[in-house]
């Protein structure tokens, strides 16, 4: 439940930021939202597993 609440809070913040950018300059909202979503996807992606060499 706590994880869902954190995700919803982040999504609400993203929507608020995008709307504020939209009020200032409409194309800016798409740029800011895209950058933030790419950062989120990068951080949410699982870390690659590292294989140890067997000697």
* pLDDT tens column, 20-34: 999 999 999 999 989
Q: How many domains does the chain have?
A: 1
Q: Residues in the chain with pLDDT < 70?
A: 53-55
In a domain? residue 37:
yes
Residues near 14 by beta carbon (within 8 Å), at least 6 away in sequence = 33, 36, 37
Q: What is the pLDDT of residue 55?
A: 64
Structural contact between residues 29 and 21, judged by C-beta atoms closer than 8 angstroms:
yes
Q: How many residues does the chain have?
A: 55
In a domain? residue 51:
no
In a domain? residue 40:
yes
In a domain? residue 53:
no
How would you class 23 by CB atoms within 10 Å of its CB: exposed for 0-12, middle for 13-18, buried for 19 or more? exposed
In which domain, by residue range, is 8 found?
Answer: 2-44
In a domain? residue 52:
no
Q: Model's pTM, two decimal places?
A: 0.66
In a domain? residue 10:
yes
Name the H helices within 1-55.
2-24, 26-44
């Amino acid at each position: 439940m706590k994880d869902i609440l954190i995700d919803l809070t982040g999504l609400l913040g993203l929507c608020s930021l995008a709307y504020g950018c939209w009020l200032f300059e409409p194309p800016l909202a798409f740029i800011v939202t895209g950058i933030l979503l790419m950062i989120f996807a990068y951080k949410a992606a699982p870390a690659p597993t590292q294989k140890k060499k067997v000697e």
